[in-house]
Amino acid sequence: MRVLIVGSGGREHALAWAISASPLLTELFVAPGNPGTAALATNVPLRTNDIAGLVNFAVAQKVDLVVPGPEAPLVAGLADALAAQNIACCGPSAAAAQLEGSKRFTKEIADAAGIPTAAWKAFTEADEAHDYVEEIGAPIVIKADGLAAGKGVVVAATLDEAHEAVTAIMEDKVHGAAGAEIVIEQCLVGEEISVFALCDGEDALYLGCAADHKRVGDGDTGPNTGGMGAISPPPWAGQAIIDATMATIIRPALGEMARRGMPFRGFLFAGLMVEEDGPKLIEFNVRFGDPECETLLPLLRSDLLPALVAATEGELKHVDLRWRDAASATVVMCSKGYPGAYATGGEIFGLEEVGALPEVTVFHAGTMADQGGILANGGRVLAVNATGADLQEAVTRAYEAVDKIEWADGFCRRDIGRRAIFAAQARK
């Protein structure tokens, strides 16, 4: 099989790493890829938003399967454009990608399908939004409806913060058109988890559960980021929570999407709050998570590629994936200053030595190659993953690896998995 992965981050490196191990693979391309994927595949200098370029490439290279990493090309119609050329794509149509592209759409699907989620209302008028804030009270959550680069959500602890958020999004238009409509919802309280499923329009195959670490600082402090690290399995999500998630959230969503004539294919990412009475949907994403992908794929024992193909053919019911009974931890190394302004171009040393450590895999997220060396070239630069018999072992290994990487301009959180390890011990 000839496969094209779209994207350039740690998630795409992890996908390339898993797919390149498949005996079914004959040729692997990554557009645009990074120095990590270059070691496993042919990098193609096409941007992820160049839909026509990607489709033309896939046609010219007789690609059998396209695996998009990020959501933007899916929202822009990559899967539809590939379908028009009879090329399989493990990702949803633009219509189905609204599950990530529009918060309001997701809430409507959730209500129609009876999915447990926070009570909500959508607004296009700032006055009405301010009134609703007063009616519900704080804490309360304010969301720009459209894609706002992960920055469109304000969890407001006070009424003042909530009103400020409404003003910033609707009146000052800090997120542009993405904030023309807002969703205001009840604040959920509990532990957050990310649950992943591979979907074929009708059936869903569980792909694992992870806990992300979104804030930049130790102890969950500071601004939100794309994700500073992840662990799996989260001790606060046992089998009963996973079963409830598949039965009350993932499968009902698939059913509702199919009923609306927009069957969902590809990776479905449910961001959930585990409350006392079970999991509640926070949001869907139409892709694998990053760094959750780098955390879960090292636990997979089965060949991923046939499952991806089955997802595009409506054949997932015949697929059964096997997983290691182990734990996994990923520490993301970032450029100092991230998620604010940061410098790039600093050289990173020690990657080869670290990559050879047992149960350790270093995924490139924002790097570039330069005369045989590897330079930092982004905010999130490396995703250092390790597996182990339990979370403690995985986390210890991941930090041992991190500490062998020499990079003057880099930093990472030092507490990835710490709360999870405490919680796991408390449960023993």
Coil, helix or strand at residue 226: coil
Q: Does the footprint of ligand GLY cover residue 378 (CB under 6 A)?
A: no
Binding mask 282-301 for ligand AMP (x = CB under 6 A): xx------------------
Q: How far is the CB of 269 from ligand GLY (least distance, A)?
A: 7
Q: Which of 153, 182, 274, 405 binds ligand AMP (CB under 6 A)?
A: 153
Q: How far is the CB of 290 from ligand GLY (least distance, A)?
A: 4
Q: Does the footprint of ligand AMP cover residue 357 (CB under 6 A)?
A: no
User: CA-based angle 152:267:243, to the nearest 5?
Assistant: 95
Q: Does the footprint of ligand GLY cover residue 100 (CB under 6 A)?
A: no
Of the ranges 31-39, 88-96, 184-192, 260-268, which one interacts with ligand AMP (CB under 6 A)? Answer: 184-192
126 burial class (0-12, 13-18, 19+ CB within 10 angstroms)?
middle
Say how far apart CA 250 and CA 257 lie, in whole Å.
11
Of the ranges 183-191, 287-295, 329-337, 399-407, which one interacts with ligand AMP (CB under 6 A)? Answer: 183-191
Of the ranges 5-13, 36-44, 182-190, 259-267, which one interacts with ligand AMP (CB under 6 A)? Answer: 182-190
Instruction: Count the helices and strands in the chain (H runs, E runs).
Output: 16, 23
Q: Where are the alpha helices (H) located in 175-291, listed in sequence order?
A: 239-245, 251-259
Say how far apart CA 167 and CA 169 lie, in whole Å.
6
Q: Does the footprint of ligand AMP cover residue 193 (CB under 6 A)?
A: no
Q: Does the footprint of ligand GLY cover residue 208 (CB under 6 A)?
A: no
Q: How far is the CB of 90 from ligand AMP (least distance, A)?
A: 22
Q: Which of 203, 292, 294, 409 binds ligand GLY (CB under 6 A)?
A: 292
Phi-psi region of 372 (alpha: psi -120 to 50; beta: other; left: phi over 0): left
Q: Does the footprint of ligand GLY cover residue 227 (CB under 6 A)?
A: yes
| Dihedral of alpha carbons 13, 15, 21, 24, sign | negative
Q: Are 202 and 312 in contact (CB under 8 A)?
A: no
CB under 5 to 8 A by kind: which of ligand GLY, ligand AMP, none does 282 bind? ligand AMP
| Dihedral of alpha carbons 332, 336, 400, 367, sign | positive
Q: Please name the residue that has the structure tokens 């990412």.
A: 269
Q: Does the footprint of ligand AMP cover residue 133 (CB under 6 A)?
A: no
Q: How far is the CB of 67 from ligand AMP (least distance, A)?
A: 23
Q: Does the footprint of ligand AMP cover residue 199 (CB under 6 A)?
A: no
DSSP code of 216? Answer: E
Q: Does the footprint of ligand AMP cover residue 275 (CB under 6 A)?
A: no
Strands 2-7 and 65-68: parallel
Coil, helix or strand at residue 56: helix
Neighbours of 94 (CB within 10 A): 17
Coil, helix or strand at residue 375: strand
How many residues line the site for ligand AMP (CB under 6 A)? 12
Q: Does the footprint of ligand GLY cover residue 9 (CB under 6 A)?
A: no
Q: Which of 70, 289, 339, 379 binds ligand GLY (CB under 6 A)?
A: 289
- Please state the three-class secondary structure of 28-42 as a single string: EEEEECCHHHHCCCE
CB under 5 to 8 A by kind: which of ligand AMP, ligand GLY, none does 76 bind? none
Say how far apart CA 384 and CA 12 lie, in whole Å.
14
Q: Which of residues 123 and 284 has its CB atom nearest to ligand GLY in the complex? A: 284
Between the two ends of the chain, the Cα-to-Cα distance in Å is 46
Of the ranges 73-81, 180-188, 260-268, 345-353, which one interacts with ligand AMP (CB under 6 A)? Answer: 180-188
Contacts with ligand GLY by CB under 6 A lie at 212, 227, 285, 289-290, 292
Contacts with ligand AMP by CB under 6 A lie at 118, 141, 153, 155, 185, 187-188, 192, 214, 271, 282-283
